[in-house]
Amino acid sequence: MNQFQYVRATKSQGAIDAVAKDPQAKFIAGGTNLVDLMKRGIMTPQKLVDINRLPLAKIERQDNGLRLGALALNSTVANDALVRQHQPLLALALNAGASPQLRNMATVGGNMLQRTRCSYFYDLTMPCNKREPGTGCGALEGINRMHAIFGASDKCIAVHPSDMSVALVALDATVLVSGSKGDRRIAFADFHRLPGDTPEKDTNLEAGELITAVDIPDGPFTKHVHYQKVRERASYAFALVSTAAALDLDGNTIKAARLAMGGVAHKPWRLTAAEQSLVGQPATEASFRRAAEVAMQGAKAFKHNAYKLKLGPNTIVQALRTAAAA
């Protein structure tokens, strides 16, 4: 691994300044993504600014919502009584990610910012536009069974691997960031990017901007929720496809619905049209199947991931069915 300078931030402003003025500097939180990529020589920051001592780990009630500090651990959030009461879908998604040990290290901010990536991104002998812009995409003509079916470009077809983010986009969360130009709020749906011509950029965060918290507005989705994750083994694996589903039911009638998918796009993939198709409908297999069809409109497979065109809608139906019964 490359050598680097290590500094510990005691104030957010100091951390922001240090990273904003030095393109070779990076924040480090849990380290579970950054250390992995540094060990492999894929990321080579010359300076690490450790943000773990900043007071950003609280989970608290905010008017009409919950505020998760950027440094709250994935395990702490998943087990938090307020989260379980107000946003049980988030707890389910978090517990479906990684392993208990990794969730004890991974933070809210770091989880969102784990790289959108694929196995060619890790393989330094292969071209990858995300790792080295302009070299080409190894996956396009390679083994692309894990890759995107929505929103891909001919520059990159990787998917964002975070489970937590799938729940957060479904729940209309907002990301709070601080930078040298001040503070701003970013709707979760606008936080991650599609690859387009610049797949090296995973998100719309600017250099030196620090995520301080994530806000989730209260909603009616406290009971009929489910996170369905399909993976190649029972646990401790990234999603092939996942679905976050939340329903607000009046008897058997759907008053409101939220749906988002993971493992299908360069960003957590909100399914707004499918949500709309459920409103006013009975919570039945036929309604769920129709919503899944709507959700899959525009999906496009590559050579090895056509199975996702079938697995995707089935996962949506399963998620909705389980949510309705919860």
Ligand X SMILES: Cc1cc2nc3c(=O)[nH]c(=O)nc-3n(C[C@H](O)[C@H](O)[C@H](O)COP(=O)(O)OP(=O)(O)OC[C@H]3O[C@@H](n4cnc5c(N)ncnc54)[C@H](O)[C@@H]3O)c2cc1C
Binding residues for ligand SF4, per CB under 6 A?
117-118, 120-121, 128-130, 137-139, 156-158, 199
Q: Are 79 and 59 in contact (CB under 8 A)?
A: no
Least distance between ligand SF4 and beta carbon 83 (Å): 32
Q: Strand, helix or coil at 245? A: strand
Least distance between ligand SF4 and beta carbon 296 (Å): 21
**Which of ligand SF4, another protein, ligand X, none sits in contact with 157, Cβ below 5 to 8 A by type?**
ligand SF4
* Residue 47 neighbours by CB under 8 Å, 6+ apart: 4, 5, 6, 7, 18, 22, 24, 25, 26
Mask: binding to ligand X, 35-54, rule CB under 6 A, as x and -?
Answer: -x--------------x---
Q: How far is it, in rounded angstroms, from Cα 111 to Cα 168?
A: 11
Q: Are 200 and 133 in contact (CB under 8 A)?
A: yes
Taking CB under 8 A as the rule, does residue 177 contact another protein? no
Taking CB under 8 A as the rule, does residue 9 contact another protein? yes
Nearest to 280 by CA among 256, 302, 308: 256
**Which of ligand X, another protein, ligand SF4, none sits in contact with 107, Cβ below 5 to 8 A by type?**
ligand X
Q: What's the chain's length in residues?
A: 326
**Count of other CB atoms within 10 angstroms of residue 3:** 7
Nearest to 28 by CA among 64, 62, 4, 58: 4
**Which of ligand X, ligand SF4, another protein, none sits in contact with 113, Cβ below 5 to 8 A by type?**
ligand X
Q: Is 323 exposed, middle or buried (0-12, 13-18, 19+ CB in 10 A)?
A: buried
Taking CB under 8 A as the rule, does residue 66 contact another protein? no
| ∠ Cα 292 297 301 (to 5°) | 105
Taking CB under 6 A as the rule, does residue 159 contact ligand X? no
Mask: binding to another protein, 29-48, rule CB under 8 A, as x and -?
Answer: -xxx--xx-xxx-----xxx
**Which of ligand SF4, ligand X, another protein, none sits in contact with 101, Cβ below 5 to 8 A by type?**
another protein
Nearer to ligand X, 111 or 144 (CB): 111
**Which of ligand X, ligand SF4, another protein, none sits in contact with 293, Cβ below 5 to 8 A by type?**
none
Least distance between ligand SF4 and beta carbon 206 (Å): 21
Token pair belonging to 275: 């949500």
Applying CB under 6 A, the residues found at the interface with ligand X are 26-34, 36, 51, 70, 97-98, 102, 105-107, 109-111, 113-114, 161-164, 210-211, 238
